[in-house]
């Protein structure tokens, strides 16, 4: 059946249920049931209990979809969501309190507050590479902020999507939290229902389409996209530790991580020694034959497997390169001598292939980064604070790690999000609560006194008004 026919069938048979689902959620939101802090806390506790109760099913689904080990399923997916819930429960009451704001003398006597209020019906579109974390972490933030939520898991990880759907339907009424499974046509149908907020994680191409569709109404959108995340290794970096951290971040989830190091720029004077350190780290982590390692995953499907093999055709395979199409296995691979025009230096690899390039001075490395689209993250390995400051000043990215990779997105203290081509908006912890909240300005004023100064006609000259304006506006 062609994709066109599938789209027609989807519209014929699924339009009414989705329309009715959105209408039911909007009606439920308008009752005010989701607004009290008590309701939000109780709902977050239910979600935590559900995740713990379905941990086995979620772990098995992740194993079938991406060959994730139980340890990886917990540490990179389930455990992070549970930690996010604990943090939200601990701080939710303080987050929901109105905050005071200064009011200009022009409006005196008065007081100002900012109330953080839920948007309403929020759509969360997840990604396939971390299908639990990237769907449920935003859900936690949306629930903490008091929204009703529709979850759209990725159809590319079907087993996990089905497990999450079963868990959510057994835990929450659909007018509060619902799951809609399906492909791009389901997303199109959902966005057409004029939602109140959309949170999307995925590719740049798909994110652009989502934003364009949302602009019709318009609907607020947060985009968490990808990008070529660079790692820069300076001559003073401890190479053994640096190599281990880069190898860990790059080959976690078989390289299918949006913040994984996508290429490495290494000082030319240490290139050979650094390559040896990378190879040792790969063997230490995954053994001589990574296909036998329980800690090394697989490529999600044949399309992406074939796409990744194309990167091996340009440059020199310095380590790895073995692959098995039937098992969707691609060994952790390092390539060097990559020609400047090769796709590995311009496209987001999103797999276990790591290009290594040498630079002669930091300016050369910074120039290579600055001339590419803004990455989701960038990494610099050096103990020199002046180099770190220069790197911050001369490069742009969603986030930065000095002397590590990926770790800036773990936890609840730092906001996680992109910039430019890597997306916009941020979440995790209080940033996630803010992401799903409308900051409503509220001014409380008294009826007396009511001075005639602001009413027409003018009571003072323009010259006098200009002198007083700065004071009256509180500038």
Spell out the SS3 assignment of the chain. Answer: CCHHHHHHHHHHHHHHHHHHHHHHHHHHHHCCCCCCHHHHHHHHHHHHHHHHHCHHHHHHHHHHHHCCCHHHHHHHHHHHHHHHHHHHHHHHHHHHCCEEECCCHHHCCEEEEEEEEECCEEEEECCCCCCCHHHHHHHHHHHHCCCEEEEECCCCCHHHHHHHHHHHHHHCCCCCEEECCCCHHHHHHHHCCCCCEEEEECCHHHHHHHHHHHCCCCCCEEEECCCCCEEEECCCCCHHHHHHHHHHHHHHHHHCCCCCCCEEEEEHHHHHHHHHHHHHHHHHHHCCCHHHCCCCCCCCCHHHHHHHHHHHHCCEEEECCCEECCCCEECCEEEECCCCCCHHHCCCCCCCEEEEEEECCHHHHHHHHHCCCCCCEEEEECCCHHHHHHHHHHCCCCEEEECCCCHHHCCCCCCEECCHHHEECEECHHHHHHHCEEEEEEEEECCCCCCHHHCCCCCCCHHHHHHHHHHHHCC
Tokens at residue 385, please? 């604070």
Judge whether 229 counts as a catalytic residue.
no
Planar angle of CA 71, 76, 79, nearest 5 degrees: 80
Which is catalytic among the residues 258, 357, 401, 435? 258
Burial classification of residue 163, based on how many CB atoms lie within 10 Å of its CB (0-12 exposed, 13-18 middle, 19 or more buried): buried
Return the bridge partners of 199, or none: 124, 222
Judge whether 84 counts as a catalytic residue.
no
Which is catalytic among the residues 224, 331, 348, 434? 224
Positions marked active-site: 224, 258
């Amino acid at each position: 059946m062609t994709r066109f026919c599938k789209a027609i069938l989807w519209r014929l048979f699924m339009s009414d249920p989705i329309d009715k689902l959105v209408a039911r959620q909007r009606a439920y939101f308008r009752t005010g049931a989701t607004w009290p802090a008590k309701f939000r806390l109780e709902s977050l506790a239910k979600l935590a209990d559900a995740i713990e109760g379905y941990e086995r099913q979620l772990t098995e689904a992740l194993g079938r979809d991406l060959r994730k080990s139980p340890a990886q399923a917990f540490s990179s997916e389930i455990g992070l969501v549970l930690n996010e819930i604990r943090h939200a429960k601990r701080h939710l009451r303080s987050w929901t309190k109105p905050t005071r704001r200064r009011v200009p003398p022009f409006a005196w006597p008065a007081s100002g507050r900012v109330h953080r209020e839920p948007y309403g019906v929020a759509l969360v579109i997840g990604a396939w590479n971390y299908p639990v974390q990237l769907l449920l972490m935003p859900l936690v933030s949306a629930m903490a902020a008091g929204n009703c939520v529709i979850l759209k898991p990725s159809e590319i990880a079907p087993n996990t999507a089905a497990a999450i759907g079963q868990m959510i339907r057994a835990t929450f009424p659909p007018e509060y939290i619902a799951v809609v499974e399906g492909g791009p046509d389901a997303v199109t149908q959902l966005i057409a229902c004029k939602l109140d907020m959309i949170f999307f994680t995925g590719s740049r191409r798909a994110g652009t389409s989502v934003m364009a569709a949302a602009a019709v109404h318009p609907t607020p959108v947060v985009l968490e996209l990808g990008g070529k995340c660079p790692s820069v290794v300076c001559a003073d970096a401890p190479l053994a530790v640096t190599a281990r951290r880069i190898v860990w971040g790059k080959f976690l989830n078989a390289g299918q991580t949006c913040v994984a190091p996508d290429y490495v720029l290494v000082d030319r004077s240490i290139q050979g020694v650094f390559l040896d350190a990378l190879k040792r780290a790969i063997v230490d982590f995954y053994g001589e034959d990574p296909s036998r390692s329980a800690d090394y995953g697989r490529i999600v499907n044949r399309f992406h497997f074939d796409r990744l093999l194309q990167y091996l055709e340009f440059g020199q395979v310095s380590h790895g390169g073995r692959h098995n199409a039937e098992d969707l296995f691609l060994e952790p691979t390092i390539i060097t001598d990559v020609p400047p025009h090769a796709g590995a230096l311009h496209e987001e690899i999103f797999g276990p292939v790591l290009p290594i390039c040498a630079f002669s001075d930091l300016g050369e490395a910074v120039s290579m980064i600055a001339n590419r689209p803004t990455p989701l993250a960038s990494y610099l390995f050096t103990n020199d604070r002046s180099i770190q400051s220069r790197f911050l000043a001369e490069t742009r990215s969603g986030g930065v790690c000095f002397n590590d990779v990926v770790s800036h997105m773990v936890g609840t203290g730092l906001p996680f999000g992109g910039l430019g081509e890597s997306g916009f908006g941020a979440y995790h912890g209080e940033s996630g609560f803010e992401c799903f909240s409308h900051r409503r300005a509220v001014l409380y004023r008294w009826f007396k006194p009511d001075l005639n100064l602001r009413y027409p006609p003018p009571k003072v000259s323009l010259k006098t008004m200009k002198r007083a304006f700065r004071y009256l506006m509180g500038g």
